[in-house]
Amino acid sequence: MSNKLINWFRYASPQTFYPLAGRMIPWFWGLAAIFGVAGLGIGFLLAPTDAQQGEGYRIIFLHVPASWMSMFIYLVMAFWAATGLAFNTRLSGMMASALAPTGALFAFLSLWTGALWGKPMWGTWWVWDARLTSELILLFLYIGFIALQAAIDDPRRADKAGAILALVGVVNIPIIYFSVQWWNTLHQGASVSLTRAPSMAAMMLWGMLLCALACWMYSIAVALMRVRVIMLERERHTDWVRALLAGRE
Amino acid sequence: MIHWNSLAEFLAMGRHGPYVWGSLLVMALLMVAEPMLLLRGRKRLIARLRRQHRAEASERRQTGAGSRSMANGSND
């Protein structure tokens, strides 16, 4: 138990985590590329036509992974925010800050691909229904988190303020996820769920899962890249950053 | 095995071409732009920090040792 704790706190120090993250990044890029090529290949070249939606349904291979990531990244961000508040570890706040822009990107992509899917299928780019509106609120939460942190000069205070916002906003995630069950909505229900067999062809399912995995790997790679930049910036007066920057020309 | 009979059919996506390709294009563009911007930001930050560290080091040499906390006054 104590051994484990020591290890975790060792990796929670930016000085130890920085080179470790640097070594991991290429692996996640490689995996993202492999999963992405496989997923898009299956989704766009091999998967059959959808009986109801024709070829337009292929947006699912982009829309569902983007939407999943936008929600999941928020949960991870809130986890780091809570950890930062509870243990006051420097790394936690940096991780939360590193995730927010990527989460915002996926929330935007979810809305964008959703609009382009909605137009041919529903005849409208946008409706103010529960699913779409709560996803838009998610985008605003990300933007609010980024703006709030940018407005506070002291990084430790910015971390705390951001963490509270992130934790309050977490209530929105179940609202997004269950909105299609709780309210009448134009949005279709889940095609994949943990509790029952997926309501789609195996080829479609595989394409979607591989694309989702690619987005996961992408998110990890980008978040690690960003956390390294944040570490350099915040720890610029420390000896380890001085030594690191002096060492490499 | 491939679902499409021709490239034209693939590009047309059964009348849904603009919607499907509009989704893919924007998603791909943003997912390429994000890491590119990060790499550029990192390069600039490293250059700026190196300049700062060099300036602080030369300041220390001029004013003598022990004034490091003074030299860290810049807050950009």
Query: Inter-chain contact A47–B15, Cβ cutoff 8 Å?
Result: no
C-beta separation of A221 from A32 below 8 A: yes
Q: What is the DSSP code (8-state) at residue A189?
A: -
- CA dist., res. A70 & res. A106, Å (int): 5
Of the candidates A58, A228, A237, which has its C-beta nearest B20's C-beta?
A: A58
The pLDDT > 90 percentage for chain A reads: 57
- pTM of the full predicted structure? 0.88
Report the complex ipTM: 0.86
- CA dist., res. A179 & res. A202, Å (int): 26
Task: Flag whether pLDDT at A110 surpasses 80.
Answer: yes
Backbone φ/ψ region at A126: left (φ over 0), alpha (ψ -120 to 50), beta: beta
Rounded mean pLDDT of A6-22? Answer: 78
Query: Inter-chain contact A109–B20, Cβ cutoff 8 Å?
Result: no
Average of per-residue pLDDT values in chain A: 88
pLDDT of the residue at A93: 92
Task: Flag whether pLDDT at A247 surpasses 70.
Answer: yes
> pLDDT tens for residues A19-75?
999 999 999 999 999 999 999 999 888 888 887 888 888 999 999 999 999 999 999
Look up residue B58 and give its amino acid: S
pLDDT of the residue at A48: 83
Closest-CA distance, A3 to chain B, in angstroms, reads 35
> pLDDT tens for residues A154-194?
998 999 999 999 999 999 898 888 888 888 777 877 776 65
Output the DSSP codes for chain B: --S-SSHHHHHHTTTTHHHHHHHHHHHHHHHHHHHHHHHHHHHHHHHHHHHHHHHHHHHHHHH-TT-HHHHTT---
Low-confidence ranges of chain B (pLDDT < 50): 67-76
Task: Flag whether pLDDT at A98 surpasses 50.
Answer: yes
- CA dist., res. A148 & res. A13, Å (int): 25
**Which of A60, A125, A218, A229 to mutate to test binding with chain B, by most B CBs within 10 Å of its CB?**
A229
Look up residue A206 and give its amino acid: W
